Amino acid sequence: MIQTGTFWIVVAGSLLLFWLTPRAIRYGLLAVVSWLYVFWFTVHLYVDSGVGNAFVIPMLTVWVALFYWLAPKVVANPKKVKWITPVLILCVLFVLICFKYVAPVLQVLAGDSLALRIALPMGISYYTFKLIHYAVEVGRGNIKQRSLQQFACYMFLFPVFTAGPIERYDHFQNNLESHWSAQMTAEGVMRIMSGLIKQFVIAKMILRPQLQSYTTADAVLARLDELPTYAMWGYCILTYLIAYMDFSAYSDIAIGVSRLFGIRIMENFNWPILASNIGEFWKRWHMTLAGWCQAYVYLPMIGLTRNPYVAVYSTFLVMGLWHAGSTVWVMWGLYHATLVTMYLQWLKFRRKRKWRSTDRFWVRVPAIGLTFVVVSIGAALTSNYPDGNGYDALRMLAKLATINLPEW
Amino acid sequence: MALTHDELVQFLDTELGVDTADISRETELFSSGIIDSFALVTLITFIEKQCSFRVSPVEVNLDNMDSIDRILTYVDRKQNGSN
């Protein structure tokens, strides 16, 4: 979306309109502009290239109306209509599962033509998680000030619609500036510049050329047997860095554009390459997804099972499947779950011996290096998505250990 | 049975190895990494044993468990029947 000139024309046009509009109807206006733009964009994309699903915005409009109307009824009458929150969550999850996980299965069973008819709606993973968050927090009584304008703006806000961050509604409400300020605008412009530099200079002009002829996982797999092991390591590290630059660039631009509208949305990355352990990595990488999963999967699973291992594996399975209904993303989830489990074991071992954590330079630097390497290995697992399969990902992993697995 | 501030602090100190001299009533325990998942499970079990009620899975969240004050507020609310 951000690569199109139309996006920036809509930003410029709606900004002027937004700040000239009285505050009472400002967020309603931004919701309408976002609705119209994202609707136009999704229809245009579908008609021109057959990508996505043209009905995503009308479908989301129905969800927004239902969640806005039904979710608060639990607070008013918790004993009689307690079922509303789980039913809303199950319904929206059912639709996500149909689009995201049934379509890939049908693609295998019935061919491309059927799968195309139920093509994945753009932004569905993001808006589904936002709706679930809204239903749960309204049900818990944590969202008391409700406004249809602000909720619609929160759900449709066009800079964050396709690639997040997965904003929390309470955070959104508490971070709306009532007046235009030069400081917010300057911050917004700086973040947009930072995103553009990450994406077009660092990722595209500096990192991607280092891949040389191995620009895709297919190219790596085609010559995997003769590829030196150090080159495979280089590929993994570059893949991780490019993914980090690209994704954090999208977040920077989303955060920056939102800030131009006086909306300070949540941060999504905090220098994950400087994490000194895998636990810290997940506090720095895709922070809004990790936070959502901690609140709505990990902690309830701890409460349900009293077993941190089950909670960790469940959480990372959800995180893997959230990215895509694909073997490689499930493998990626299980890989990270195993890393976090090992780290939890270490914490348990350390706590039993009453060892305090240390932040000394000679401990922190190798720890950062080790974390960087293990996360890079995970990048190899998903680099062949969506064309590759789990076995191809395993062949790439084996190559890192100088093992050549045969082709399937 | 009730859970007092002193009992909770003593438990954090002796059973979970938390340096309680460094934390306040509002210090984030889980989200700051002061206590890990295993310690959280031990803490939930302690609350249940001490207060004679069951902590349900949906009540295991940061609003209820992430600081000394939040835990005491949660226990108080639960025991007074408003939750």
Q: Give residue B83's pLDDT band: very low, low, confident or very high (50, 70, 90).
A: very low
Q: Identify the CATH number of the domain in which residue B17 sits.
A: 1.10.1200.10
Give per-residue burial for A371-401: e unless 16+ CB within 10 Å, then b.
Answer: bbeebbbbbbbbbbbeebeeebbbbbbebbe
Q: What is the pLDDT of residue A112?
A: 58
Task: Indicate the residue of A300, A308, A351 with minimum beta-carbon distance to B58.
Answer: A300
A310-314 contacts: CB < 8 A, separation 24 or more?
A311/B37, A312/A337, A312/A340, A312/A341, A312/A344, A312/B37, A313/A337, A313/A341
Shortest distance, CA B62 to any CA of chain A (angstroms): 7
Q: Residue B23 belongs to what domain range?
A: 5-79
- ipTM tops the 0.95 cut: no
**Beta carbons of A51 and A45 less than 8 angstroms apart:** yes
Inter-CA distances, B21 with B32, B42, B65, B73, Å: 16, 21, 19, 21
CB atoms within 10 A of CB A109: 9
Rg of the Cα atoms in chain A: 22
Q: What is the pLDDT of residue A110?
A: 66
Task: Compare all CA atoms of chain A with the CA of B40 and give the residue at the minimum distance.
Answer: A302
**Beta carbons of A126 and A286 less than 8 angstroms apart:** no
Residues of A in contact with B37 (CB under 8 A): 302, 308, 311-312, 344
Q: Which of A351, A353, A355, A359 to mutate to test the interface with B (most CBs of B within 10 A)?
A: A351
What does the DSSP assignment read for A154-216? HHH-GGGTTT-----HHHHHHTB-SS--HHHHHHHHHHHHHHHIIIIIIIIIIIGGGGTT--S
Question: Each residue of A337-376: pLDDT tens digit?
Answer: 999 999 988 888 887 777 766 667 788 899 999 999 999 9
Tens place of pLDDT for every residue, chain A, 408 residues? 777 889 999 999 999 999 999 989 999 999 999 999 999 998 888 888 777 777 888 889 999 999 999 888 887 777 777 788 889 999 999 988 888 888 777 766 766 555 555 677 888 899 999 999 999 999 888 888 889 999 999 999 999 998 879 999 999 999 999 899 999 999 999 999 999 999 999 999 999 888 887 778 888 888 888 888 998 999 999 999 999 999 999 999 999 999 999 999 999 999 999 999 998 999 999 999 999 999 999 999 999 998 989 999 999 999 999 998 888 899 999 999 999 999 988 888 887 777 766 667 788 899 999 999 999 999 888 888 777 788 888 888 898 888 888 877
Q: Is B83 on the interface with A (CB under 8 A)?
A: no
Task: Please report, to the nearest 10 degrees, the dihedral formed by the alpha carbons of residues B4, B6, B7, B13 taken in order.
Answer: 150
Who wins on pLDDT, A105 or B58?
B58
Q: Which residues of A touch B (CB under 8 A)?
A: 140, 142, 279, 283, 295, 299-304, 306-308, 311-312, 344, 347-348, 351, 354, 356
Shortest distance, CA A136 to any CA of chain B (angstroms): 10
Q: What is the pLDDT of residue A166?
A: 95
Question: Each residue of A146-166: pLDDT tens digit?
Answer: 899 999 999 999 999 988 799
- Distance, in Å, from the CA atom of A227 to the CA atom of A230, rounded to the nearest integer, reads 8
Residues of A in contact with B33 (CB under 8 A): 279, 283
Report residue A176: phi and psi, to 5°. Answer: -105, 115
- Distance, in Å, from the CA atom of A400 to the CA atom of A360, rounded to the nearest integer, reads 30
Structural domain boundaries in chain A: 5-176, 185-400
User: How many distinct structural domains can be found in chain B?
Assistant: 1
